[in-house]
């Protein structure tokens, strides 16, 4: 499953349903803040996790950092999620620092093939060039048990795949996303979703804090989500 993260469907859950306020309590950032577009990323991840998680499943979070969704899911579902990242923060949810695609790293940390039930990743895979992103997906699918699920969010581009220097990430076109994940969008209304992002209640302030601007072409990208299940 591939979908653009649309405020039209996610905001009622985040705001009216109170999910955002509950998640913010688990942010390890100053002032319990949540990143400029993570309202939608985190709401999607939490919603899909609730749909697929069952007690006793083994779960990892790649690129977890200090992200609020990690702590929220651990508390909400009474699950110990193994946090993996290539960086550390003053406060974070990182249990293991290292490169998940490195076979030696996985072997040293009991992350062998078919050993994990759910892999989460919020806005982390996008920091890899497309072919490295593809390799990361493959490693995840190898690591998942039959029937296991990968839940990930990353950045979508409007016209062409490109490296976006301010956030050190790759923004991907529809064609490249579908190629990487071996799936197709049911619908792909980039312009419509982008307009709703631009009007989102957090967007103007978030862009100004992150990029020191909110101009006619902002936001510079939007988020897309992928749910990929390994064959049972």
Q: At a CB cut-off of 8 Å and minimum separation 6, what does 124 contact?
A: 62, 63, 85, 152, 154
CA atoms within 13 A on the CB side of 18: 1
pLDDT value of residue 148: 98
What's the half-sphere exposure (Cβ side, CA atoms, 13 Å) at 141?
16
- What ranges make up the beta strands (E) of the chain? 2-4, 59-62, 82-85, 96-97, 116-122, 144-156, 162-164, 169-171, 222-229
Find out whether the peptide bond into 219 is cis, omega within 30 degrees of 0: yes
Cβ count near 144 (within 10 Å) = 23
Neighbours of 112 (CB within 10 A): 12
In order along its 232 residues, the chain shows pLDDT tens digits of: 999 999 999 999 999 999 999 999 999 988 888 877 899 999 999 999 999 999 999 999 999 999 899 999 999 999 999 999 999 999 999 999 999 999 999 999 999 999 999 999 999 999 999 999 999 999 999 999 999 999 999 999 999 999 999 999 999 999 999 999 999 999 999 999 999 999 999 899 989 988 999 999 999 999 999 999 999 8
Is the pTM of the predicted complex or chain greater than 0.85? yes
Cα dihedral 23, 222, 206, 127 sign: positive
Joined tokens for residue 167:
């956030």
- At 96 the pLDDT is 97
Contacts of 65 (CB under 8 A, 6+ apart): 85, 87, 89, 92, 93, 94
């Amino acid at each position: 499953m591939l979908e653009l993260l649309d405020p039209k469907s996610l905001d009622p859950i985040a705001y009216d349903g109170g999910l955002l306020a509950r998640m913010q309590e688990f942010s390890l950032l100053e002032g319990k803040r949540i990143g400029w577009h993570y309202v939608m990323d985190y709401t999607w991840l939490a919603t899909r996790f609730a749909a697929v998680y069952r007690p006793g499943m083994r779960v990892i979070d790649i690129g977890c950092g200090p992200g609020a969704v990690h702590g929220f899911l651990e508390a909400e579902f009474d699950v110990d999620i193994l946090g993996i990242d290539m960086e550390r923060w003053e406060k974070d949810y990182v249990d293991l620092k290292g490169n998940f695609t490195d076979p030696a790293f996985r072997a040293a940390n009991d992350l062998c093939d078919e050993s994990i039930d759910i892999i989460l990743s919020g806005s982390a895979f996008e920091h890899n060039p497309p072919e490295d992103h593809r390799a990361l997906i493959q490693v995840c699918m190898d690591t998942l048990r039959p029937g296991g699920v990968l839940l990930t969010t990353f950045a979508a581009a409007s016209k062409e795949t490109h490296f976006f220097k301010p956030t050190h990430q790759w923004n991907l076109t529809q064609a490249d996303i579908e190629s990487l994940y071996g799936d197709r969008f049911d619908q792909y209304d980039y312009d419509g979703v982008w307009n709703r992002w631009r009007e989102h209640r957090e967007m103007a302030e978030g862009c100004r804090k992150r990029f020191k601007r909110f101009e006619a072409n902002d936001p510079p990208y939007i988020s897309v989500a992928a749910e990929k299940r390994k064959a049972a």
